[in-house]
Structure 1
Amino acid sequence: MRLQRFLARAGAASRRGSENLMTAGRVRVNGYVVTELGSKVDPLIDVVTVDGIVYTLTQKSVFLMLNKPAGFLTTMKDPRNRPCVASLVPTDQHPGLFPVGRLDKDTTGLLLFTTDGQAAQNMLHPSKHVTKHYIALVEGIVLDEDLEPLRRGILLDDGPCAPAQCELVDKNSRQAMSVVGRKYHAQHLEYKASTVVCLAIHEGRKHQVKRMLEAIDHPVIRLHRQSFGPLSLGNLKQGSWRLLTDQELASLTKMGIQQ
């Protein structure tokens, strides 16, 4: 098996991240540093380590979700010591955890973590069409017909977007609370000329939802991801995490995300 594929399946990192570990000289096979991409290992015989930690395919992968609060970078380490999501999840208990995809620093909501690099790659690959649902508080009053360009597939500077499912949401509804806030009327009077929009996309370009809404002249004030594929936050409090249930893991297996 190719070493980078082994590392991804063993949960060391994503496939690309595993390649970076190799080229950085952090991977050893039977005690020897291996930096050449494409090198092969026998999972039943060879001892593979990353930074001294042994990885095997018999290790059970870990999957957990975090309800990310605003103000945290989606990275496990920041050279400028800014707050990172790594401080919110049990990295000591589950070494090798890393986030699946990214949420912007000011974006809240469901962020999936795993130790399974292959599953993470599958979750993000366009061929799997994993749908992500967002709730956005945007500037201005949006009419339903204003959303038509998004439903047809709007053109951004890096190419056309796939058609998005989108609808208007009542600002006073429970669904809108994640972006409006429960003290909206008392503390956020400046948001009176605003609208809550629900969007569902399966692409994952950088700042995609923000750019889509800005393209129809309604910049995002706040953004929250409420679901990722078959996974939903439910009653998980902001800043808290939980392991996926057996039922949720089975839903990922059914989609071909994890084995």
Structure 2
Amino acid sequence: MMRTNEVGETCTASATGATTPAGDAQPVYPHTMRLQRFLARAGVASRRGSEDLMTAGRVTVNGLVATELGTKVDVDRDHIEVDGIPVKLNQGAVYLMLYKPTGYLTTMSDPQERPCVADLVPRDRFPGLFPVGRLDRDTTGLLLFTTDGDLSQDLLHPSKHVYKTYQALVDGHLTDRDLEPLRRGIELDDGLCQPAICRIINAREAEAVAPQGIKHGTTAVEVIIREGRKNQVKRMLSKIHHPVIRLHRCNFAGLELEGVAKGSWRELTDREVQILKSGGIPPKQASSKRVAAPATNTASRTRHHGSHGSAPKRNTYRERYTG
């Protein structure tokens, strides 16, 4: 019920008779809703993930385990818990990044009880966490986790795939010219790949894959892709006869592993969450390093000093990696 208070503000009357200014009113939710919808809107997991939590017996309503997918709850009165942790409708989704070490499977459980990334993230604090995409068992680097199913689908959908940057230590002496097939778009057994952005990197840049330096007979390379096929970077480099020795993901959608030790995690900042929700940004534009704007005459590569301070252009970013 709406009414006006003494200072002329429009107020909303609650069931208890208390009034609050309409401008400060909290979002109004249905009095009752299906339990899996409640969990999804509370940011515990996606709708499908919430159903999995229920069928696994991890959700209770007023102290009773709720496994029936048609269960309805009273938003105002019922007490809902996941793994013993109370869940409220306005607590919001969770977003964090993990520096995945080698030897861990990207899964939240394993029947063979092998080490999983689930052992490295705070599942007890944030029930319903799940990884966004996957990294191979022997691949290290940035792995995102969230309880936001919609965002996860957006980041992984083929039509919206974002930039992912990998560093690889490969067998053999790899030259810049050898990378041309990857830049054109190399054919794999499951179809043609989109053109990759790639370059040879030095020992300082390749510390994650070559901590002791780049040994003779090996080469370090950076590969940036916008797809997410299984073992894609490994297969691309094997196709040009340089199998991967070590692989590390250093950037996802413009986010980097800043302030995260190997095997540790941290929550994303508000700005990082907004970057993900906006579809990500190219990795070099996300870093503090500036890329000079291209000259008008690209053949002569003349630098125009007047362009300093202008926003970096995407073709500049691409030219830097394609030579």
TM-score class normalised by the smaller sequence: 0.7 to 0.9
Q: 1:18 to 1:146 in 2, by over 3 A?
A: farther
CA distance in 2, matches of 1:252, 1:180: 29
TM-score by length of 1: 0.80
Residue in structure 2 matching 1:84, options 112, 116, 133: 116
CA distance in 2, matches of 1:33, 1:87: 25
CA contact (8 A) 1:7 1:117 kept: no
Percent sequence identity over aligned pairs: 60
TM-score by length of 2: 0.65
CA distance in 2, matches of 1:192, 1:41: 64
CA distance in 2, matches of 1:6, 1:206: 33
CA distance in 2, matches of 1:95, 1:51: 7
- Opposite residue 194 of structure 1, the aligned amino acid is T
Q: 1:128 to 1:55 in 2, by over 3 A?
A: farther
Structure 1: gaps of 5 or more residues: 186-190
Task: Verify: 1:232 aligned to 2:256, yes or no.
Answer: yes
CA contact (8 A) 2:104 2:115 kept: yes
What corresponds to 2:135 in structure 1? 103
- Opposite residue 112 of structure 1, the aligned amino acid is L
What corresponds to 1:180 in structure 2? 210
Task: Verify: 1:120 aligned to 2:152, yes or no.
Answer: yes
CA distance in 1, matches of 2:149, 2:168: 30
CA distance in 2, matches of 1:114, 1:43: 26
Greater gyration radius: 2
What corresponds to 1:153 in structure 2? 185
CA distance in 2, matches of 1:153, 1:59: 44
Equivalent runs, 1:110-259 vs 2, <5 Å: 110-170=142-202, 172-173=203-204, 175-181=205-211, 183-184=212-213, 191-255=215-279
Deviation at 1:81, TM superposition (A): 1.2
CA contact (8 A) 2:197 2:224 kept: yes
After superposition, the C-alpha distances for 1:188-225 in whole angstroms (9 at most, x for unaligned) are: xxx42111110111111111111111111111100000
Q: 1:245 to 1:21 in 2, by over 3 A?
A: closer
Question: How many matched pairs?
Answer: 245
Q: 1:193 to 1:2 in 2, by over 3 A?
A: farther
Q: Root-mean-square deviation (CA), in Å?
A: 3.0
CA distance in 2, matches of 1:161, 1:237: 33
Q: 1:161 to 1:86 in 2, by over 3 A?
A: same
- Opposite residue 206 of structure 2, the aligned amino acid is A
